[in-house]
Amino acid sequence: MIKNDAWISRMAAQGMIAPFEPAQVRQVHGSPVISYGLSSFGYDIRLSPVEFRIFRHIPGSVVDPKNFNPENLESAKLREDDTGKYFIIPANSYGLGVALERLEIPENITVVCMGKSTYARCGIIANITPGEAGWRGHLTLEFSNSSSTDCRIYANEGVVQLLFLEGEPCEISYETRRGKYQDQSERVTIARV
């Protein structure tokens, strides 16, 4: 069953989402932002301003998930103007960011991370990332710019929505099996095997 706003609020008070915004935020200091916070059946998390990395082409190299070379990623500059702080994802490129909010997923919940339509309409596709039962940390978020132009992605504003799905408690949670992405910091975590 998908969990509603009342349940998400109760669980956030117990540490499931921090920091937690108890309503949809659409303006900050009178300026419009891409919405974040609690919605009817989900929670829109924000992109952290701490780090965003873009894949770059290194002639002769191949990205290998079993032997990931961090040299394939370069840091994107955090920029700022009167619309807010943002990173730029080059046309037809791929980038990795991290969630501002820290999550602590209960043992009977799986979280699905979905892209926001505001970004999808600009050509930014968010990878559907799961947050497994018992997982905790800051999600590393994956974005593809499928458009033929560079696109902005705003820090400290809504970037993806989390949907919380309840099931019977699992026998072995992410915490129990000591998953390799447990306790991610507010930094981009590269592929691990």
Cα–Cα distance list, 113 to 162, 164, 181 (Å): 5, 9, 16
Residues 71, 80, 142, 157: which is the catalytic one?
142
Residue 104's SS3 state is strand
Active-site annotation holds for 80: no
- Long-range pairs for 24-31 at CB < 8 Å and ≥24 separation? 25/158, 31/82, 31/83, 31/84
List beta partners, residue 43: 38, 162
Whole-number Å distance between alpha carbons of 191 and 73: 12
Single-letter residue type at 105? I
DSSP assignment, residue 120?
H
Q: Contact at 8 Å (CB) between 33 and 26?
A: yes
Active site residues: 142
